[in-house]
Amino acid sequence: MEGAEAAMVETRTESGRRTLVELINEHLTAQGAANSVVKEREARRLETDVAGIAYPAPRSGMPATVPDFRLFQYAFASVEHGSFRRAAAALNVQQSTVSRSIRSLEDRVGAKLFERGHAGIRPTPAGNRFLEEVTLGFDHFRRATRRVGALQRGEHGELAIAVSVPFIRLGHAFKRFRERYGGISVEIVEATSSASCASVQQRTVDVAFVTKVAEHGEVRSLHMGNERMLAVLPKSHSLAGARRLNLEELRRERFILSDGGSGPEIEDHLIRRSAKWAVSPNIQLHRVGQCNLINMVAMGFGVTIVVGSSLRAAADEVVLVPLVARNALSLHAVWMDTNPNPALQRLLDIVRESGCVRMAT
């Protein structure tokens, strides 16, 4: 009967449960309780109780029941502190809670896991084996819980950002973001405003910082102020000493602009402003970044227009002259209202806190 019953238990359970059957048999044998009737009763209880400790049902990825991991926590604390009383104090619970939980765990497993005595408690051989086997799974569970919680709170995860404006304006906000949420991996992509907004709508990036907002029902935007525009001139230019310029004063210049970043928006601005000029503006687009564009000005290729945040990016051989106030680009943060990424909201909160949402001077 004993062998048949054990075989039945082994046939109907997973390999992890079969290990527990062997564990119980070893423990009962060590205590001299090899009586077949006792072992049959223990095997039945093992089959019933251990079956409730969350093993996948056939052809189903979901456990029938979920184990109470507090039982394992109380067991580990009891081993560490050598008594239920000290374990309870460490966990800030009642001693009776720990002792009842250990008893419940023993009932579930179907074996005595701890020896009780005046000097405290200690694991039985069965208890040692059992706790060794569940420790790995318990640690994985706790680690997974912490990670999921951190993701939900926006403390870890990933954030993709598109920018069409120089990053200097956003530097303070991003520095604070990195200091506060160093566990979030950030990817930054430079693109035009239209491409950046399209990436937001396609969910390839979480947020974009742009100078032109595309109309879309689910797109949310935050106006962060206006970026003034500056003319970048060679130091030898006749207007290099001016305190401020009207854009029309540069109407006969060759404007060199980047075809990426904020270049297309600056080009649109030039075309609109030149409508009343006697001549059409001479505009050349180049597939270079802003730093190389400024270097090209220094080398005599022409003049360019940049937004105010670029002030610190100028080369030594050029000067930056502010344009009159009406020459400015609006700066916006753009994101999808349906984006569930918690890290996105953390960034937007810091952008608001850091004073980026204001009129640029």
> Domains in the chain, please, with CATH?
2-151 (1.10.10.10), 157-224+330-353 (3.40.190.10), 227-329 (3.40.190.10)
Binning pLDDT at 50, 70 and 90, where does residue 136 land?
low
Q: What is the mean pLDDT of residues 192-209?
A: 89
The pTM of the whole model exceeds 0.75: no
Report residue 232 as tokens.
């970048």
pLDDT for 353: 84
Residue pair 196/163 in contact by the 8 Å Cβ criterion: yes
CA separation for the pair 353, 68 (Å, rounded): 42
CA distances (Å), origin 236, targets 269, 302, 317, 322: 26, 12, 9, 17
CA separation for the pair 38, 288 (Å, rounded): 83
The percent of residues above 90 in pLDDT, for the chain, comes to 15
Q: What is the mean pLDDT of residues 261-278?
A: 85
